[in-house]
Chain A
């Protein structure tokens, strides 16, 4: 199995895996990151979303060999409990989840949205999350959390 050097959350990390191995399993099992979750393996639900070169990608569909030296950002890369990103903080403030299994995808998709549109309106937020599924019915809280984070980031 080939050895890959990945740029994950600002650090160079190494993993040995077959070329076609989805990035998701390398992140979760080799690099012991918990943010991206397996939801469908089909790119349909968004639970596994990470940023690759700043773009939201379904890590269940990205072969590890295709990543190269492009920076990968996971939920952990945004912030930890002691230094939360504005999005993470807003999700706490809005209590924007029930089970939280989909929340990685919501926050990472929102991060990509806010990177390209600093003040999205509600319709833009909903459109950006259209491909992310939530089963608990926390959608409106999630939208509020993202709007709140955008406002706080704008200062």
Chain B
């Protein structure tokens, strides 16, 4: 069905297809102040036909501003539209974001696709349905509220005749603004929402169809590769371009400042030229990276730390009878996509056209236009899938690389893919962090005072920042663009302080964010931003306090947790796992629990982890993870399970194995041997309990299970061995040392 059609159209039809698409572009209405009250970005893009069209041939075409990153959101959005219109899911064609025709929904991030993107589409679809039914009522001579729709066929309850959406497509117009006056279907009537509808893109992926930007082949397309500096701040002293330019198939050697690239007829020729150009370049490398042995001390000593109390409660609270303090650390982490970043760029019909797996086609377009020094209308970004990114990886940067090479070759269509070492060496990492907690317990074993400090580098340096430019190559040009001064995002989403505010009720608390504006290693958004570090610290420390109070970890959490939905996920996970109060460990096997509500306003997740620890080697095996999640109304049950399960497994990998390695000069993580991730034999069994609340609005879930995972593992190791792990990752050496310390 539709996935194959869009492939042919997007890829196979090549340039002809692109030109057709230009004339199809809907006219987006300007942001209207009167759009207030409409959900999501429907308020800024009110025209209904900017979101969906009803086609005479029996399909519904949907324009979303959200992109598929492998998380299945596009299928869930299609379900929402099909549900609201009462058509079969197979009729819905989801158009990948194209800045020439799709609504601008900014960046697909922060687990927002369903909450915000879904709400916008649901409202637009409900209005479209009302417009069609009004016309159908006239044709069938029946009141609109007596009409029944079944897969687009409309009949009246008390009148003869039938008519379809497809017959009416030419008689109605969606060239009108959303009014906000049509109520969507009540959840009790949902038939498709809340089911495990199969992903639209999986059949094409298992059959080897061209589903990714990496699979694009356009007429005349050639291949590019980049030669990055050997270290973040290396300066290019000299480079012999001529010898490389003479190599077989080489079309162009591109140099602008310390940006180096090669363009060749064949991909392997570009790779060979890249190796030769790297050898032909002489660099000066300063030793200006932090000492990896004391990176957190280094970061805390940097200038330009902005300290702010982001949340405070001042009591009253009884004086503590016991106090406790602990400090936790997280290393730099890599997104480590399986597929290195890739983009295709070229001059098409006098428009610089870039196919990219970016999370934010519109913000990327703006930045590309700035670097190319052309009006934004002369840049078009079209989303095409990539490998899972888990945040801001090299996707945007390689798009600029491809554009720069296309500019240098008078607009040739060039596919650029980063090599594995480009990806590890140059993707923006998730920041190293340090978290310190001090708390007091009263005589009843309740937390009466919670003081929290987090030190963090920036977690959001995405494209689209009006105060500067963070695309990698833009900073390497002879006339470089300056990076924007980092700004910490406001809570509740936050950045490094995401989830720094506890999900528990404490009478007195102070949450202090020490925002490090310098970036010795370039950092940006990695799944959960600061949430992984903060929830790790919170939920480890809650366990330490429970131990101090002589309380059961589940009961201790419930004692401080007032939110009924939060309590329900903790209880559900504990029940499913068969949690036993006071269960003793045999010294090898242990069990831990952790809980958080993502961003303090999104999905609720609790996890129970079972580990086995080899005391001699320090090797930890996570054997089983049991999770419970409440995401409000579930759109796709299997999609939600997949996200929760995937987040847990990735979280186990981060917790046990991962840290970006570097020395004083350069990043030394360059391949999978220097950045090992969890493998099949190490992956735990994962059991996910879904708590569906159809009457509650959907809550963002894509990142929700990652935060509790490391703490539950630390708590399970403590239960097994009595050793408390506070520095991520929990490598065998660290675990062994902690056990030996006792």
Contact = CB atoms under 8 A, between A and B. Distances in A.
Interface of A: 17-18, 21-22, 25, 28-29, 32-35, 37-42, 44-45, 47, 74-76, 79-81, 84, 88, 91-92, 95, 97-104, 107, 125-127, 129-141, 143
Interface string B508-550: 0000000000000000000000000000000000000000000
Interface string B179-207: 00000000000000000101101111111
Contacts of A29: 217, 266-267
Contacts of A99: 69-70, 338-339, 385-388
B695 interface: no
Contact of A143 (B207, B646, B680): B680
Contact of B208 (A33, A125, A127): A33
B650 A135 contact: yes
Contact of A95 (B209, B638, B680, B685): B638
A81 B209 contact: yes
Nearest to B69: A99
A102 B338 contact: yes
A130 B681 contact: yes
Contact of B338 (A42, A76, A101): A101
Given A44-B673, A133-B338, A137-B650, 20 more contacts: A25-B267, A29-B266, A29-B267, A32-B217, A38-B214, A40-B671, A42-B672, A44-B672, A47-B338, A75-B208, A98-B71, A99-B387, A101-B337, A101-B338, A126-B680, A129-B680, A133-B677, A135-B337, A136-B70, A136-B650
Interface string B613-653: 00000000000000000000000001000110111111001
A98 B74 CA distance: 12
Contact of B672 (A33, A40, A125): A40
A97 B202 contact: yes
Contact of A75 (B207, B214, B419): B207
B210 interface: yes
Given A97-B202, A135-B337, A139-B649, A45 B672 contact: yes
18 contacts: A34-B209, A34-B211, A37-B212, A40-B671, A75-B206, A81-B207, A81-B209, A84-B207, A99-B387, A99-B388, A100-B211, A101-B70, A101-B339, A127-B680, A137-B646, A138-B642, A139-B680, A141-B642
B268 interface: yes
B120 to A, nearest CB: 24
Contact of A136 (B217, B646, B671, B679): B646
B394 interface: no
Given A34-B209, A130-B680, A130-B681, A100 B420 contact: no
Contacts of A143: 680
Contacts, number: 171
Contacts of B69: 99
Contacts of B648: 137
Contact of A40 (B72, B196, B420, B638): B420
Size bin of chain B's contact surface: 35 or more
A81 B672 CA distance: 32
Contacts of B680: 125-127, 129-130, 132, 139, 143
A107 to B, nearest CB: 7
A128 B72 CA distance: 27
B218 interface: no
B209 A127 contact: no
Contacts of B203: 81, 84, 92
A75 B209 CA distance: 10
Contact of A35 (B4, B208, B643, B671): B208
Contact of A39 (B204, B267, B420, B647): B420
A84 B387 CA distance: 23
B388 A140 contact: no
Contacts of A21: 266, 268
B417 interface: yes
A38 B340 contact: yes
B79 to A, nearest CB: 14
B339 A38 contact: yes
A42 B600 CA distance: 42
Contacts of B677: 133, 135
Interface in B375-409: 385-388, 390
B643 to A, nearest CB: 8
Given A29-B266, A100-B201, A91 B338 contact: no
B205 A100 contact: yes
Contact of B199 (A28, A95, A103): A95
B683 interface: yes
A97 B205 contact: yes
Given A133-B677, A143-B680, A98 B340 contact: no
B656 interface: no
Contacts of B214: 37-38
B10 to A, nearest CB: 14
Contacts of B72: 98
Contacts of A129: 680
Contacts of A131: 679
Nearest to B335: A135
A41 B419 contact: yes
4 nearest CB pairs, A to B: A99-B70, A137-B649, A137-B646, A99-B388
A136 B215 CA distance: 20
Contact of A103 (B206, B420, B645): B206
A85 B677 CA distance: 30
B336 interface: yes
Nearest to A39: B338
B285 interface: no
A95 B207 contact: no
B253 to A, nearest CB: 20
B686 interface: yes
Nearest to A42: B671
A141 B649 CA distance: 12
A104 B208 contact: yes
Contact of B206 (A37, A92, A102, A126): A92
Contacts of A40: 340, 420, 671-672
A95 B646 contact: no
A54 B402 CA distance: 37
B377 to A, nearest CB: 32
